[in-house]
A and B are shown apart, each in its own frame.
Chain A
Amino acid sequence: MTYQLETAAHPETLRRVAIDPVSRVEGHGKVTILLDDQNKVHQVRLHIVEFRGFEKFIQGRPYWEVPVMVQRLCGICPVSHHLAASKALDVIVGAKKLTPAAEKLRRLMHYGQMLQSHALHFFHLCSPDLLFGFDSDVTKRNIVGVAMTHPETAKRGVLLRKFGQEVIRVTAGKRVHGTGAVPGGVNKSLTVAERDELLKEIYHIIQWSREAVQLIQKVHTQDPGLYNSFGIFRSNFMSLVGHNGDLDFYHGTLRARDDNGGMIFDHVDYQNYNQVIEEEVRSWSYMKFPFIKSIGKEHGWYKVGPLARVQNCDQISTPFAEHERKEFVDYAGGTPMHAPLAYHWTRMIEMLHAAEVIKELLHDDDLLSDDLMVQGERQMEGVGVIEAPRGTLFHHYQVDENDVVTMANLIVSTTNNNQAMNEAIRHVARRYLHGREVTEGLLNHIEVAIRAFDPCLSCATHALGKMPLQVELVDAEGTQIHALSRA
């Protein structure tokens, strides 16, 4: 099937605008826009090329290496891959239920990551757009610009990140390449000193997180004309949901709702994810397009991540975040909010929840226990699913009798949002670019829409000073007629 603005009727007659790579989005994203002579938009596509080779990287390795190796897939959220792989391999080693200490230590690690990742996105990647405006001076539209004009905001972003990284360090054993989670449990607990160091900081962290929610709520509600409509499209939602329908980033069952909030499926054991989710390949993109099987590929695609999770759950178990969830739901008027910029609001609600859960866990003496491992009857196949900062992350492995991984299938969060991101940028292109002369500020609108989803595109290759935004206008003969760039 084709989607509106996905494929132009006569692309050979159109001008091409390429945003390559997309700035402040990890890795190698590229947006191509085909325009006619009147600058009318005929085709918009987000291309992501970096997910090739993940499965080959894993296949052929002993299963016990996998939780450590998969961290190298992503320099931004290595803990998500570490834990999703460990959960899948729990199944392989027959660990049906972890010890309370192991489960809580993993949860602490994960919520630490959620906090630091959301802080990075809000204070580093999206706050420049939100604080300065989408058309603002390009040299200010970054974290350095934020630090210059809002030093306290920038400082809190740094300290929130640092705290989250410290939670990861004490639970994973190291700042990077941690080994905390292993199939069947974890290999270290917290010391009293480690716990007490974190406890010293957590109350500041919660307070700053509360203020971050209030800041983004204020930004959003002060300009409803923009924030409730920018890049908007309707879709289904999907996420894990925890016990009793709680928001849960670490464990639960799969739930999907339609665009009106009606239930599509619920309580689905993620071991059977491929009974409800299917992936479509399209010729123009290396990244697959997942969809809900029962609805089909045309209407079965969905959003994942904070906006999906906060609206998919029935409640949040921690008081401050639950209060903010209710505020958000009330603002939405009792129907699902689909505006991509609402991702920022819900992302901060999640950051607050993560901070509150960390506080609860730090008061739980199970974190100090040495009862860390379980085993059971060896299995040949396992699936691990986790709610990563950007959305639902699937790891699926088959392991042979020699303990070697023979099959790996990963559906990363950004893949789950593939169609959704494409829909968002098509809406923005129609609204802001259609019939107008292309400028850097207008093209940043496209990037603002993509950044709302916080996609992690390359997973692990960093790039210092080599990610300029390059935009080329090329006529039908392939001749460059105009170029924009920023370094």
Chain B
Amino acid sequence: MTAPVVVFCIGNPSRGDDALGPFICGELGKWPEIGNAQVELIEDFQLQIEHALDLIGRQLVLFIDAGTATTAPFDFRQISASTAVAHTSHALSPEAVLQVYRQTEGQVPPPAFVLCVRGDSFELGAALGTAATAHAAAAMVLLARLLAMPELAAWQSLTTGAMGDAG
């Protein structure tokens, strides 16, 4: 059975603060809510076109990623499918993943949110920084509230300001 909530944790564990996504994924994996078939965690280096298929049958979608220009400790906002995110590399933005879903499935994608956690350094071989670790701790507080109330209205009530560039 498909879990109603899917959480994408994006990043590279060996690229400094890019490890925020995988680090939070590891922490979430310890929570009992994750094991009750209500929430599925998906960890990956980058978002790709096939991730659109992971949206099928979901009620809520959350993308967790590091951001370089994000207001510390994090931004949390609802997103929608967008064709405006035109130029990417091999990877897609969360908005583009929603748009691929819309076009390939012929349906409106499920409600989706981005939790963008502030990171500063992304060097190969570097560990997660002290500041980023503190930002992750703050994000975990929000995640506890989100996963305790996996409902659209509840998540919308917890959104913050505009999201900076994700990295």
Given contacts A57-B124, A75-B45, A462-B45, contact A467 B104 (CB under 8 A): no
User: Which residues of A are found within 8 Å of B76, using beta-carbon distances?
Assistant: none
For the complex, is B90 an interface residue (Cβ under 8 Å from A)? yes
CB distance from B15 to the nearest CB of A (A): 5
CA distance A17 to B32 in the complex (A): 54
Q: Judge whether A487 and B103 touch: CB under 8 Å.
A: no
CA distance A143 to B104 in the complex (A): 11
CA distance A56 to B14 in the complex (A): 13
User: Which residues of A are found within 8 Å of B166, using beta-carbon distances?
Assistant: 463-466
Size of the chain B interface, CB-CB below 8 angstroms: 46
For the complex, is B87 an interface residue (Cβ under 8 Å from A)? yes
Mark out the residues of chain B between 48 and 99 whose CB falls within 8 Å of any chain A CB in the assembled complex.
48-50, 52-53, 65, 68, 83-96, 99
Q: Judge whether A464 and B104 touch: CB under 8 Å.
A: no
For the complex, is B122 an interface residue (Cβ under 8 Å from A)? yes
For the complex, is A229 an interface residue (Cβ under 8 Å from B)? no
A161 and chain B: residue at smallest CB distance: B50
Q: Judge whether B90 and A53 touch: CB under 8 Å.
A: no
Q: Judge whether B85 and A465 touch: CB under 8 Å.
A: yes
CA distance A120 to B87 in the complex (A): 15
Q: Judge whether B50 and A151 touch: CB under 8 Å.
A: no
User: Which residues of B are found within 8 Å of A458, using beta-carbon distances?
Assistant: 89
CB distance from A65 to the nearest CB of B (A): 11
Q: Judge whether A148 and B167 touch: CB under 8 Å.
A: no
CA distance A463 to B45 in the complex (A): 10
Q: Judge whether B49 and A467 touch: CB under 8 Å.
A: no
CA distance A23 to B93 in the complex (A): 13
Size of the chain A interface, CB-CB below 8 angstroms: 54
Q: Judge whether A154 and B88 touch: CB under 8 Å.
A: no
User: Which residues of B are found within 8 Å of A144, using beta-carbon distances?
Assistant: 83, 85-86, 96, 99-100, 103
User: Which residues of B are found within 8 Å of A123, using beta-carbon distances?
Assistant: 49
Most buried by A among B48, B85, B106, B125: B48
Q: Judge whether B89 and A486 touch: CB under 8 Å.
A: no
Question: Which of A56, A125, A139, A158 is B90 in contact with, Cβ under 8 Å?
Answer: A125
Mark out the residues of chain A between 217 and 252 whose CB falls within 8 Å of any chain B CB in the assembled complex.
none
Give the segment of B5-13, B139-147, B152-160 that binds chain A: B5-13
CA distance A449 to B111 in the complex (A): 38
CA distance A158 to B99 in the complex (A): 13
For the complex, is A25 an interface residue (Cβ under 8 Å from B)? yes
The contact sample of 6 A-B pairs, CB cut-off 8 A, is: A53-B125, A57-B14, A144-B83, A456-B90, A462-B91, A464-B165
List residues of A whose CB falls within 8 A of some B CB.
23-27, 53-54, 56-57, 69, 72-73, 75-76, 78, 120, 123-125, 138-139, 141-145, 147-148, 151, 154-155, 157-159, 161-162, 165, 175-177, 456, 458, 460-469, 486-487
If A24-B87, A148-B83, A464-B92 are given as contacts, then 9 extra A-B residue pairs at C-beta distance below 8 Å, sorted by A number, are A72-B124, A76-B90, A120-B48, A120-B90, A139-B84, A142-B96, A159-B50, A458-B89, A464-B166
Per CB-CB distance, the 4 closest pairs between chain A and chain B, nearest first, are A75-B45, A147-B103, A464-B166, A72-B14
